Amino acid sequence: MNAIARNIEERTLSYSEAIREAMSLAMDADPTVILMGEDIGVYGGAFQVTLDLVDKYGTDRVMDTPISELGGAGVAVGAALTGLKPIFEFQFSDFAALAMEQIVNQAAKLRYMLGGEASVPVVFRMPAGSGTGAAAQHSQSLEAWFGHVPGLKVVQPSTPEDAKGLLLAALADPDPVLIFEHKLLYKMKGHVPEGHYTVPIGKAAVRRQGKDLTIVASSIMVHRALEAAERLAADGKDVEVIDLRSVRPIDRDTILASVRKTGKLMVVYEGVKSYGVGAEISAMVAESDAFDFLDAPILRLGGAEAPVPYNPDLERASVPQVDTIEAAARRLLGGEV
C-alpha cells in the first residue's frame, strides 16, 4: 500500500480520520447534515470512524439507530426527502441487503417518479471487503449490485484524500450516493489537504503512467496493482494503473484513452468475477473504437465464485493479491490468454 503514500506531503491523516474530518467539516458548515447508524454514537461505530462526534454534535445530530437496517435506512431516506442530508452508516456493507427496498426501490427512484420535484440527498457509508477474518456474511464487495441501479451513484475511495473529497462531493449531490470503504484501508495514512474540497464523482485517477498494459482497479486493489506494476517495472514492463474511484458513473474517457495507448487491458476488482465491474468495463471497451487498438484479449481478475471463507489462507486465495495480479499481467503481456 506504499506506492501512493510515497507522494505524501506535509499533512497526513488515516483513511478513517479523513472520513471523520469530512463529516465534521460538513456538520459545522451545514446544520442539515446528520449522522445515523447502529452504534455510531458513544461506541464510535463498528470501525471507530465516528468516534467522538456525538460529544461534539449531540444525539440530535449523531443518532444511534435500532438494529434494523431496513428501518434505519428508511428513516434516512425520509429525512432526506424533508430537507435533511443524512449520512447513514451500515456496520458492514453486507447488511445493506436488508435495506434493499429503501435503497433500490425508494431512494434511487423517487426523484424520477416525482418528476424532479423532490430529491433524496442521502449518503450511505458501506464498510466493505475481505481481509479481516469476518467470513462470508461480513466480507463481501457488493458495489456492482448497486451500480446496476439507475438513480444511485457508487464510489470506492482508495486513499485518505479521496475518502474525504468523495464524501464531501457526495453530500453536495442531490442523488443518493453509496460510498464503499474497504475495511483494510481505515488505518492507511496519506496526504489529506486541509479544509473543504471535493473529488469529482465519476472521474478516475491515473495513479501510474505506462505504455504496455492498462490495469483498471478499484479500492484496495489499486494499491495491489501499483505494487505489482513496480515489480513488473524491474523487468522493463511499463504498466499504467487507473484508479476507478467511481463505479457509477464510470469514467469512460480516461479508460478508453489508456486502452488506445497501451493496447492491453486488465480489470482488477475484489467482487465476484462474474457479472461484476470488470464485465461492465470490458463491454464498454468492446463497444467502443478502443476495441480496435487491443492486441490481446481483455482480462478480468476478480473474486472467486464462492462466499468469502473464514480460514485466512482461503480468504486470501479468494480475492486478487499482489502475486496473482503480477502473474496475470505477465501472462497478458506475454501473449497468453
Which sign, positive or negative, has the C-alpha torsion 269, 121, 22, 64? negative
Q: How confident is the model at residue 335 (pLDDT cuts 50, 70, 90)?
A: confident
* pLDDT tens string 56-100: 999 999 999 999 999 999 999 999 999 999 999 999 999 999 999
Cα–Cα distance, 105 to 264 (Å, whole number): 38
* pLDDT tens string 105-123: 999 999 999 999 999 999 9
Answer yes or no: are the C-beta atoms of 177 and 119 closer than 8 Å: no
- Return the amino acid letter for 295: D
Cα–Cα distance, 333 to 337 (Å, whole number): 10
Show the cell assigned to 11: 499533512
Is 69 a residue of the active site? yes
Q: Kindly tell me the burial class for residue 305, based on how many C-beta atoms sit within 10 Å of its own C-beta (0-12, 13-18, 19 or more).
A: exposed
Q: How far is CA 174 from CA 11, 119, 186, 248, 310, in A?
A: 31, 6, 27, 15, 39
The 3-class SS string of the chain reads CHHHHCCCCCCEEEHHHHHHHHHHHHHHHCCCEEEEECCCCCCCCCCCCCCCHHHHHCCCCEEECCCCHHHHHHHHHHHHHCCCEEEEECCCHHHHHHHHHHHHHHHCCHHHHCCCCCCCCCEEEEEECCCCCCCCCCCCCCHHHHHCCCCCEEECCCCHHHHHHHHHHHHCCCCCEEEEEEHHHCCCEEECCCCCCCCCCCCCEEEECCCCEEEEECCHHHHHHHHHHHHHHCCCCCEEEEECCEEECCCHHHHHHHHHHHCCEEEEEEEECCCCHHHHHHHHHHCCHHHHHCCCCCEEEEECCCCCCCCHHHHHHCCCCHHHHHHHHHHHHCCCC
Cα–Cα distance, 164 to 251 (Å, whole number): 20
**Phi and psi torsions of 122, nearest 5°:** -105, 145
Across the chain, mean pLDDT equals 96
Among 138, 240, 315, 326, the one annotated catalytic = 138
Among 69, 227, 270, 315, the one annotated catalytic = 69
Cα–Cα distance, 10 to 6 (Å, whole number): 12
Is 138 a residue of the active site? yes
Model's pTM, two decimal places?
Answer: 0.95
Which candidate, 226, 213, 236, places its Cα nearest to that of 298?
213
* pLDDT tens string 148-188: 999 999 999 999 999 999 999 999 999 999 999 999 999 99
Domains of the chain: 2-191 (3.40.50.970), 205-333 (3.40.50.920)
* pLDDT tens string 220-274: 999 999 999 999 999 999 999 999 999 999 999 999 999 999 999 999 999 999 9
Query: Does the pLDDT of residue 1 top 60, yes or no?
Result: no
Which candidate, 49, 16, 51, 324, places its Cα nearest to that of 157?
16
